[in-house]
Protein backbone atom coordinates (compact mmCIF):
# COMPACT_ATOMS: atom_id res chain seq x y z
CA UNK A 1 0.00 0.00 0.00
CA UNK A 2 2.92 2.30 0.73
CA UNK A 3 4.32 1.93 -2.81
CA UNK A 4 0.97 3.02 -4.23
CA UNK A 5 1.15 6.24 -2.19
CA UNK A 6 4.67 6.87 -3.45
CA UNK A 7 3.49 6.36 -7.03
CA UNK A 8 0.64 8.84 -6.53
CA UNK A 9 3.00 11.38 -4.99
CA UNK A 10 5.46 10.95 -7.86
CA UNK A 11 2.66 11.37 -10.39
CA UNK A 12 1.43 14.51 -8.66
CA UNK A 13 4.98 15.87 -8.55
CA UNK A 14 5.55 15.15 -12.24
CA UNK A 15 2.28 16.88 -13.13
CA UNK A 16 3.18 19.87 -11.01
CA UNK A 17 6.61 20.05 -12.62
CA UNK A 18 5.04 19.95 -16.08
CA UNK A 19 2.73 22.80 -15.06
CA UNK A 20 5.69 24.87 -13.87
CA UNK A 21 7.58 24.23 -17.11
CA UNK A 22 4.51 25.20 -19.18
CA UNK A 23 4.17 28.42 -17.17
CA UNK A 24 7.86 29.32 -17.47
CA UNK A 25 7.94 28.66 -21.21
CA UNK A 26 4.64 30.48 -21.69
CA UNK A 27 2.86 27.59 -23.42
CA UNK A 28 -0.77 26.73 -22.80
CA UNK A 29 -1.45 23.25 -21.51
CA UNK A 30 -2.47 20.75 -24.20
CA UNK A 31 -5.98 20.35 -22.78
CA UNK A 32 -8.22 22.70 -20.81
CA UNK A 33 -8.10 21.78 -17.11
CA UNK A 34 -11.67 20.48 -16.62
CA UNK A 35 -11.81 18.23 -19.70
CA UNK A 36 -8.36 16.89 -18.81
CA UNK A 37 -9.46 16.11 -15.25
CA UNK A 38 -12.65 14.46 -16.51
CA UNK A 39 -10.56 12.31 -18.83
CA UNK A 40 -8.29 11.29 -15.97
CA UNK A 41 -11.32 10.49 -13.83
CA UNK A 42 -12.59 8.28 -16.64
CA UNK A 43 -9.26 6.47 -16.78
CA UNK A 44 -9.32 5.86 -13.03
CA UNK A 45 -12.92 4.65 -13.16
CA UNK A 46 -12.04 2.26 -15.98
CA UNK A 47 -9.08 0.87 -14.04
CA UNK A 48 -11.21 0.43 -10.93
CA UNK A 49 -14.04 -1.22 -12.83
CA UNK A 50 -11.67 -3.60 -14.60
CA UNK A 51 -10.14 -4.63 -11.28
CA UNK A 52 -13.55 -5.13 -9.70
CA UNK A 53 -14.78 -7.29 -12.58
CA UNK A 54 -11.59 -9.37 -12.59
CA UNK A 55 -11.90 -9.93 -8.85
CA UNK A 56 -15.53 -10.99 -9.16
CA UNK A 57 -14.71 -13.40 -11.99
CA UNK A 58 -11.83 -14.91 -9.99
CA UNK A 59 -14.02 -15.34 -6.91
CA UNK A 60 -16.74 -16.98 -8.94
CA UNK A 61 -14.27 -19.32 -10.64
CA UNK A 62 -12.71 -20.22 -7.28
CA UNK A 63 -16.17 -20.92 -5.84
CA UNK A 64 -17.02 -23.21 -8.72
CA UNK A 65 -13.76 -25.13 -8.26
CA UNK A 66 -14.48 -25.62 -4.55
CA UNK A 67 -18.05 -26.80 -5.14
CA UNK A 68 -16.88 -29.32 -7.75
CA UNK A 69 -14.33 -30.79 -5.33
CA UNK A 70 -16.92 -31.25 -2.59
CA UNK A 71 -19.30 -33.22 -4.83
Contacts of 36 (CB under 8 A, 6+ apart): 29, 30
Q: Which long-range contacts (CB under 8 A, 24 or more apart) does 27-32 make?
A: none
Higher per-residue pLDDT: 61 or 70:
61
Q: Kindly state the average pLDDT of the residues 2-21.
A: 84
> Which of 1, 2, 30 shows the shortest CA–CA distance to 15?
30
Q: What are 28-68's pLDDT values in tens digits? A: 777 677 877 888 888 889 988 999 999 999 988 887 766 66
Gap between the Cα atoms of 25 and 7, Å rounded: 27
Whole-structure pTM over 0.85, yes or no? no
Any idea where the domains of the chain sit in the sequence? 1-30, 31-71
Q: Kindly state the average pLDDT of the residues 15-38.
A: 82
What's the pLDDT score for residue 4?
A: 79
The answer to whether the beta carbons of residues 8 and 2 sit under 8 Å apart is no
Amino acid sequence: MKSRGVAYAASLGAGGLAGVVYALVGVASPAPPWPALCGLLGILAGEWLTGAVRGAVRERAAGQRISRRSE
